[in-house]
């Protein structure tokens, strides 16, 4: 696990609104983009409406991006993600080294549609959640 007192850059894996072109990408304007990454198929991805929620113990890979951030940016991301009430950070392996992944820890609304793993494409899986339109 990364020691947060260490001065080396901290890597984060983002899979939703923090990705390039998405609504919260500005939070990473001072970060260094390292590249695209895909996790092993171990997660569920839910569409809450305004943002995604990834949960552990699923069967889908998450598609995302890895960034190098400083401690101040990580603290800002923790506030944005409402750690520890809504999300917690988990360390995962990426092609760029270990990175933090924000996983949903609050209750999951049974109406949330389940996605195939790529928030930017929002391809819903059959049999879960409402048929909301955007």
- Comparing 7-16, 65-74, 118-127, which segment has the lowest mean pLDDT? 118-127
Instruction: Indicate the SS3 state at residue 25.
Output: helix
Where does the pLDDT of residue 122 fall: very low under 50, low under 70, confident under 90, or very high at 90 and above? confident
What was the pLDDT predicted at 132? 41
Mean pLDDT of the 26-49 span: 96
Average pLDDT, the chain: 89
Between CA 20 and CA 46 the distance in angstroms is: 19
Q: Tokens 């171990």 label which residue?
A: 42
- What distances in angstroms separate CA 92 from CA 19, 41, 56, 66, 126, one per listed residue? 17, 12, 12, 11, 28
H or E element, residue 71: helix 71-80
Which two tokens mark 55? 């949960």
Where does the pLDDT of residue 6 fall: very low under 50, low under 70, confident under 90, or very high at 90 and above? low
What was the pLDDT predicted at 5? 59
Mean pLDDT of the 21-40 span: 96
Mean pLDDT of the 65-70 span: 97
What was the pLDDT predicted at 130? 45
Please, are residues 44 and 60 in contact by the beta-carbon 8 Å criterion?
A: yes
pTM value? Answer: 0.86
Between CA 75 and CA 53 the distance in angstroms is: 19
Query: Of these residues, 14, 43, 53, 81, which one is catalytic?
Result: 81
pLDDT of residue 129 exceeding 70: no
Please, are residues 126 and 116 in contact by the beta-carbon 8 Å criterion?
A: no
Dihedral sign from CA coordinates of 55, 18, 63, 2: negative
Between CA 99 and CA 33 the distance in angstroms is: 13
Q: Is 22 a catalytic residue?
A: no
Q: Tokens 């995302």 label which residue?
A: 64
What was the pLDDT predicted at 9? 76
């Amino acid at each position: 696990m990364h020691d947060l007192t260490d001065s080396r850059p901290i890597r984060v894996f983002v899979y939703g609104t923090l990705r390039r072109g998405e609504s919260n990408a500005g939070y990473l304007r001072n970060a260094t983009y390292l590249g695209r990454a895909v996790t092993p198929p171990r997660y569920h991805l839910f569409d809450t409406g305004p943002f995604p929620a990834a949960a552990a113990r699923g069967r889908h890979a998450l598609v995302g991006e890895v960034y190098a951030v400083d401690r101040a940016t990580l603290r800002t991301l923790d506030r944005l993600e409402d750690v520890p009430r809504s999300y917690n950070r988990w360390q995962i392996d990426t092609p760029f080294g270990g990175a933090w992944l924000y996983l949903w820890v609050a209750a999951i609304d049974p109406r949330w549609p389940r996605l195939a793993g790529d928030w930017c494409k929002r391809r819903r899986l059959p049999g879960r959640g409402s048929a909301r339109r955007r």
